[in-house]
Amino acid sequence: MRIGIVAPSCPITPEMAEQLHQLVGGRAELRIHPQCYLTHGHFAGPDAARADALVEYANDPAIDAIWFARGGYGACRIVEAVLPRLSGVARDKQWMGYSDAGTLLGALYSEGCSRVAHGPMPADLNRRGGEAAVARALDWLVDGRAAACEPSPGRKAAFNITILAHLIGLPWQPELSGHVLLLEEVSEYHYRIDRALAQITAHPGIRRVAGIRLGRCSQIPENDVDFGMDEVAIAEHWCRVSGIPFLGRADIGHDSANKVVPFGR
């Protein structure tokens, strides 16, 4: 099992890579693209470098899985350039990440990549308890262990709320009819969660999902006037307005407990 690591958003450090190698041990062979250590503003290198590294590893038949190193911001800047450069090899491999990487997961899924999963990334080693998160990601990537996954019957997909809102209406918005949609958020005001869910649940395609489950919404800044609804009330509201069933909470979020959600299974 050979896992290629690229950073379409923000960089990781060689120290983190070393920590990752030790944690992975003999479970898999890691190929960490040197692009992961580039810095360009807050990006892991210029757009072209991030796109080229992703395409190189995606189309390399010797690599079984692409694991996004870290979120942050930057995936939306390369997605349109990357998609037409992907070969059938890219469509057949596994993909994993979350947060900003969700832009690519969604676009890859829309392009027929069927082995896409929302789950922990190497940069989760920065979190308290992050080793468990990274080990859980490997449990899925390497061993396909169902215990790593958030249980949910039927087809599913998972996204950061803000990231999905910014995918709405674009040619690479994934078709999610019949899927249970798991959503999580971090560091956004309640009114912004509300606004993003208004857009997501108003889209005619999203109205055909089987339901919405709400993951954790963490580190919500305090508004100067209390919004009057927490994230559960907000999600329930938009489900009611849109006719989408609200199916309760989900064990995903920007934290070490973040479970794996394989798309479409």
Which 174-213 positions form the footprint of a copy of itself (CB under 8 A)?
A: 191, 194-196, 198-199, 202-204
Provide the minimum distance between the beta carbon of 224 and a copy of itself in the complex, in angstroms, as a whole number. Answer: 8
Contact between 17 and 31 (Cβ < 8 Å): no
Q: Does residue 173 belong to the site contacting a copy of itself (CB under 8 A)?
A: yes
d(CA 88, CA 98): 23
145 vs 240, which CB is nearer to a copy of itself?
Answer: 240
Q: Does residue 92 belong to the site contacting a copy of itself (CB under 8 A)?
A: no
46 vs 257, which CB is nearer to a copy of itself?
Answer: 46
Q: Does residue 228 belong to the site contacting a copy of itself (CB under 8 A)?
A: yes
177 vs 223, which CB is nearer to a copy of itself?
Answer: 223
Q: Does residue 85 belong to the site contacting a copy of itself (CB under 8 A)?
A: no
147 vs 232, which CB is nearer to a copy of itself?
Answer: 232
Q: Does residue 38 belong to the site contacting a copy of itself (CB under 8 A)?
A: no
Instruction: Estimate to the nearest angstrom the gap between the alpha carbon of 155 and the chain centroid.
Output: 16
Provide the minimum distance between the beta carbon of 16 and a copy of itself in the complex, in angstroms, as a whole number. Answer: 17
Provide the minimum distance between the beta carbon of 171 and a copy of itself in the complex, in angstroms, as a whole number. Answer: 7
The site for a copy of itself (CB under 8 A) is made up of 40-42, 73, 76-77, 80, 165-171, 173, 191, 194-196, 198-199, 202-204, 223, 225-229, 241
